[in-house]
Amino acid sequence: MKAEFTAIIETAEEGGYWAICPEVPGANGQGETVEEAKASLKEAIELLLEDRMEDILRGLPSEAIREKVMIG
């Protein structure tokens, strides 16, 4: 899945950086550098979306239609 998300990155009081993604509640990352924080956030987004998809698919009836929708 290819998508674009917003990364909000701030300096952490204890050193390094922390990052959040407003489009994906619960997704956050941290790192010693901005790039590490972004990579950590990317991994968190991927894991959260994968987990949510698995949860949804488990409860779908077999006759449900499943198609892709493009945004933007």
Q: How does residue 1 score in pLDDT terms, banded at 50, 70 and 90?
A: low
pLDDT for the residue numbered 69 = 85
Distance CA 39, CA 55 (A): 25
In the chain, where are the structural domains located?
Answer: 8-58
pLDDT for the residue numbered 2 = 74
pLDDT tens digits, one per residue of 18-47: 999 999 999 999 999 999 999 999 999 999
Half-sphere exposure of 70 (CA within 13 A, CB side): 1
